[in-house]
Amino acid sequence: MTQTLGHFINGKLVADHTRTQAVFNPATGAVSKQVALASPQTVADAITAAQHAFVEWRDTPVMKRARVMFKFKELLEQHRDAICTLIGEEHGKILHDAAGELQRGIENVEYACAAPEFLKGEFSKNVGPNIDSWSEFQPLGVVAGITPFNFPAMVPLWMFPMAIVCGNTFVLKPSERDPSASLYLAQLLQEAGLPDGVFNVINGDKEAVDTLLTDKRIQAVSFVGSTPIAQYIYATATANGKRCQALGGAKNHAIVMPDADLDNVVNSLLGAAFGSSGERCMALSVAVCVGDAVADQVVAKISSAMQSLKVGVFSDTSNDFGPVITAAHQAKVEGYIASAAAEGATIVVDGRGAKPLGYEQGFFVGATLIDHVTPNMVSYQEEIFGPVLQVMRVATMQEAMQLINDHIYGNGTCIYTRDGEAARYFSDHIQVGMVGINIPLPVPVAYHSFGGWKQSLFGDLSAYGPDGARFYTRRKTITQRWPTSEIREGASFSMPTL
């Protein structure tokens, strides 16, 4: 009998067989587990547990909260292999890629350990006669996270370590397509000494999400996923009076300048376009070549290098990337390739119909290269989220930048050049939140913050790092005077000034 994954509420794994959905092993195409889809009552139970836990947790000294994170980091490192295997089995990414994802998540836990430092607040003495004033950063209460399938460990780790160390309690709703990693993390947090109810995981679909968005006890919602859902989450959460940050989809362009070192560019593009089957929100999916001569060389070199790429099962670490997440997503990616061809692009390398030996039923799409892509094509306007690299040809750097600035997404971008002046102009003027200069995946480290522009992020604050600390706290400013017994002041009816 297949296992049914439940929820983690108030420190306990809770079984739930009422409404379930299949979880697949995308390399074999077989159903590996079932996952419970929480009812509104189950979500409400998790919120209640978090609300009760908040009373003590908010007053737990920050150093003690940070100590839980130190221990949690150790446990994540000890259990690295088990977590990566769960990710591989449900998401399909190769173990070395899963280890990279987890390491990036651990770095967010390391940053959370610094909470006693970044929650110190601000203090001013003598803002008036015998008057002192300070600002402190108080937790919000119960906060929620809703996460996508493509980073089942890292994206939850962007959110809850920071939220919890700031004194909040948390309800996580992970992707129903690869839910096991979150349940595993919950148990490690408990082992690290986190009190019951501070961190809860509910599995589910839209019904669970809508309950989180409308329950008055939830103070803030962090979301990462596709843009249409991000827009919905942001509109609904804010209409219900909640603070919200909603990170959406992407179309990340790399400009290849004529002076770039093309051999380095090719290696860098291969990993950034096809790593994790292109299912990264920072995947480089468009190479904008300045000049036909550059484009011809890039296409020739990449298509030749693509012949040796290996696609297959997560556990064989000689593979470069794995399957895409579902059969439906495989069909969608292949549909974009077909539509590009129908709209006049050239399919230079066609990954459709990839069938690794022994995994013929898996949801595989091989690495695909499409040349002569133009801005009017649907496959350019929308996010493909698969192992597909599109090549566009422009005459000047200005034209390349205009393309990027005109796109609805503004998550990541990169320029390959040896010209410092061009690079500086690019980073100054490009309408994108995360910029690489000869760096294909400019994912900010944990002590900076992660966020795109335009339709890649709804809300004012980016994820994790200093913005994360701001998002999960509320500023309170206190002004204090202890009256001196000799001084008697009369009533004043004008605005107090110095």
Least CB distance to ligand NAD at residue 354 (A): 21
In this structure, what token pair is assigned to residue 332? 């969608």
Q: How many residues does the chain have?
A: 498
Which of 137, 385, 416, 471 lies at the binding interface for ligand NAD (CB under 6 A)?
385
Task: Examine residue 16 and tell whether it contacts ligand NAD (CB under 6 A).
Answer: no
Place of tokens 């290098």: 305
Q: Which stretch binds ligand NAD (CB under 6 A): 87-95, 248-256, 296-304, 419-427?
A: 248-256
Q: Which of 254, 252, 258 has its CA nearest to residue 417?
A: 258
Longest CA–CA separation in the chain, Å = 90
Least CB distance to ligand NAD at residue 308 (A): 28
Nearer Cβ to ligand NAD (44/131): 44
Size of interface with ligand NAD, in residues (CB under 6 A) = 28
Q: Which of 120, 207, 178, 232 has its CA nearest to residue 469?
A: 120
Least CB distance to ligand NAD at residue 220 (A): 16
Distance separating alpha carbons of residues 438 and 426, to the nearest angstrom: 12
Q: Which stretch binds ligand NAD (CB under 6 A): 6-14, 172-180, 358-366, 373-381?
A: 172-180
Q: What angle do CA 432, 157, 464 make, to 5 degrees?
A: 40
Which of 6, 249, 366, 387 lies at the binding interface for ligand NAD (CB under 6 A)?
249
Least CB distance to ligand NAD at residue 248 (A): 6
Task: Examine residue 226 and tell whether it contacts ligand NAD (CB under 6 A).
Answer: yes
Number of H helices, E strands in the chain: 16, 23
Identify residues 440-469 at the interface with ligand NAD (CB under 6 A).
452, 456
Task: Examine residue 423 and tell whether it contacts ligand NAD (CB under 6 A).
Answer: no
Nearer Cβ to ligand NAD (232/416): 232
Q: Which stretch binds ligand NAD (CB under 6 A): 57-65, 223-231, 334-342, 349-357?
A: 223-231
Place of tokens 């698969």: 386
Q: Where are the beta strands (DSSP E) in 213-337?
A: 218-224, 243-247, 252-256, 284-290
Nearer Cβ to ligand NAD (149/426): 149
Q: By 3-state DSSP, what share of the chain in percent is helix, strand and coil, each rounded to 5?
A: 40, 25, 40
Least CB distance to ligand NAD at residue 236 (A): 9
In this structure, what token pair is assigned to residue 439? 């760096």
Query: DSSP characters for 20-87?
Result: EEEEEETTTTEEEEEEE---HHHHHHHHHHHHHHHHHHTTS-HHHHHHHHHHHHHHHHHTHHHHHHHH
Distance separating alpha carbons of residues 446 and 163, to the nearest angstrom: 14
3-state secondary structure 386-406: CCEEEEEEECCHHHHHHHHHH
Place of tokens 């089957």: 277
Nearer Cβ to ligand NAD (83/394): 83
Least CB distance to ligand NAD at residue 101 (A): 11
The site map against ligand NAD for 387-416 (x = CB under 6 A) is ------------------------x-----
Angle, helix 80-91 to helix 62-78, in steps of 10 degrees: 70
281 counts as catalytic: yes
In this structure, what token pair is assigned to residue 474? 């509320």
Task: Examine residue 247 and tell whether it contacts ligand NAD (CB under 6 A).
Answer: yes
Nearer Cβ to ligand NAD (280/393): 280
Could you give the strand order of the β-sheet that contains 4-5, starting from the edge strand earlier in sequence?
4-5, 30-36, 20-25
Residue from 84, 244, 281, 289 carrying the catalytic annotation: 281
Distance separating alpha carbons of residues 494 and 54, to the nearest angstrom: 41
Identify residues 175-214 at the interface with ligand NAD (CB under 6 A).
175-176, 205-206, 209
Q: Which stretch binds ligand NAD (CB under 6 A): 15-23, 29-37, 109-117, 243-251?
A: 243-251
Least CB distance to ligand NAD at residue 226 (A): 3
Which of 76, 281, 290, 423 lies at the binding interface for ligand NAD (CB under 6 A)?
281
Least CB distance to ligand NAD at residue 328 (A): 10
Identify residues 261-280 at the interface with ligand NAD (CB under 6 A).
none
Give residues in contact with ligand NAD (CB under 6 A).
146-151, 155, 173, 175-176, 205-206, 209, 224-226, 229, 232, 247-250, 281, 383, 385, 411, 452, 456
Where in the sequence numbering do the catalytic residues fall?
Answer: 281
